[in-house]
Structure 1
């Protein structure tokens, strides 16, 4: 007697290749499956777009500008000349709000050195610099006694990368950001002429640096170290 198991033949016999009961043998079923897949893909796409639209609507409901108050003398318009006439001037103090409505007071001379960056959402140079600063701050520690503040200014709803509140959120800006007024009062008081614009202030409240244009990592690191130094 053989030890081989007996092979039981199918009662229905063998079927030709490709003639099974799957979708390939039934054009109607195949079409129905494809239709379901398409409907699922469309539903996912609609849900994604709806979520994005809701987020955009939520951001558009956030006021992008707000009232500000300023104390102190205006800095001269930054023309890039040397020596800069704003050097050693007392930087103006200002009160503004973050995008979530939190009140923020910036008080030069309070014992903390400051680097204040002015950014316009539509400025391509700002769009390159902001994530570069975010990356630097994620991988480096600010010197002791130095804080970084961003001012969102020159807001125009009809220009690219609007609203700025979404831009700063998307870039995961890690420091304070405040809204300038519709009249760009903070920027004008600080002598802004072009973007991006950065002002360095020492712990005594004196202006020690002003820069127009993008800062690479080396220049940024030099600036934050400079405002922290006693010579600043």
Structure 2
């Protein structure tokens, strides 16, 4: 699951602890890997730089850097995945195909349902 997050987005700030709680509860399906991608980077917005923001929020998963102009616009990877809002989740199957895309805050139950539907678990 690829999670696109914007450091200035209040919904992203709210979603991070939900994802961490989902992991802590043992609710992550076996084999599900999560990758964070900070995007829509703005040098003048709160929580800049995004790598420090994620570390400070306790983000436990790998992070990929999304090439961005620094003006708050979506980065190259976010655009390639069709991101329209933040947070933006993309679930990719073992076959490498995109199974589900979702935007906005998700509860643990909603995350579990999205992953189950996407991966047939």
- Taking structure 2 as the reference length, the TM-score comes to 0.87
Any runs of at least 4 consecutive aligned residues in structure 1 with deviations exceeding 4 A, and if so which? Answer: none
- Equivalent runs, 1:176-191 vs 2, <5 Å: 176-183=62-69, 184-191=75-82
Q: How many residues align?
A: 116
Residue 136 of structure 1 pairs with residue 27 of structure 2? no
Q: Is the 8 A contact 1:200 1:210 kept in 2?
A: yes
Alignment partner, residue 33 of structure 2:
147
RMSD over aligned Cα atoms: 1.5
Q: Is the 8 A contact 1:134 1:171 kept in 2?
A: no
**Uncovered stretches (5+) of structure 2, i.e. residues with no partner:** 70-74
Residue 228 of structure 1 pairs with residue 119 of structure 2? yes
SS of 2:23's equivalent? helix
Mapped to 2, the partners of 1:137 and 1:151 lie a distance apart of: 18
**Uncovered stretches (5+) of structure 1, i.e. residues with no partner:** 1-114
Which structure has the bigger radius of gyration? Answer: 1
Alignment partner, residue 8 of structure 2:
122
Alignment partner, residue 158 of structure 1:
44
Residue 164 of structure 1, CA deviation: 1.2
Mapped to 1, the partners of 2:99 and 2:12 lie a distance apart of: 22
Distance change >3 Å, CA 117–CA 196, structure 1 → 2: same
Deviations 1:44-100 (A, max 9, x none): xxxxxxxxxxxxxxxxxxxxxxxxxxxxxxxxxxxxxxxxxxxxxxxxxxxxxxxxx
- Equivalent runs, 1:1-232 vs 2, <5 Å: 115-183=1-69, 184-229=75-120
**Highest relative contact order (Cα 8 Å, sep 6+), 1 or 2?**
2
